[in-house]
Amino acid sequence: DVKVTQSSRYLVKRTGEKVFLECVQDMDHENMFWYRQDPGLGLRLIYFSYDVKMKEKGDIPEGYSVSREKKERFSLILESASTNQTSMYLCASSFRTPNTEAFFGQGTRLTVV
């Protein structure tokens, strides 16, 4: 079974803190994604990576950065957390071929106070 593992299920951070969300996949997928999920807005793409050290901005990259030093690991960084970044964060991975589905982690519910 494909596994996408996010380092935390729940996180509470203070405004202004630097926050790291980690994601690891074990299926040798080329693509990895970070989404943010908010009620009524669905899933919005923050960043994605199609190879090691490669990244592309998604629809809402402001206030976020990412790092992909190894193929299996994709990190999302909140440089200075703000209350409007309180949300559910979902990591996903997939093969590069477009007819393949994405596999998701269990999600990290981040609360910024």
Partner 1 sequence: AQSVAQPEDQVNVAEGNPLTVKCTYSVSGNPYLFWYVQYPNRGLQFLLKYITGDNLVKGSYGFEAEFNKSQTSFHLKKPSALVSDSALYFCAVRESGGYQKVTFGTGTKLQVIP
Strand segments (E) across the chain: 4-6, 10-13, 19-25, 31-38, 42-51, 54-57, 64-70, 73-78, 87-94, 103-104, 108-112
Asked if 52 interacts with partner 1 (CB under 8 A), we say no
Q: How far is the CB of 80 from partner 1 (least distance, A)?
A: 27
Q: Which is closer to partner 1, CB of 75 or CB of 105?
A: 105
Sign of CA dihedral 52, 55, 60, 64: positive
Among 65, 106, 111, 113, binds partner 1 (CB under 8 A): 106
Asked if 34 interacts with partner 1 (CB under 8 A), we say no
Interface with partner 1 (CB under 8 A): 4, 31, 33, 35, 40-43, 45, 48, 50, 56, 58, 90, 92, 94, 96, 98-99, 101-107, 109
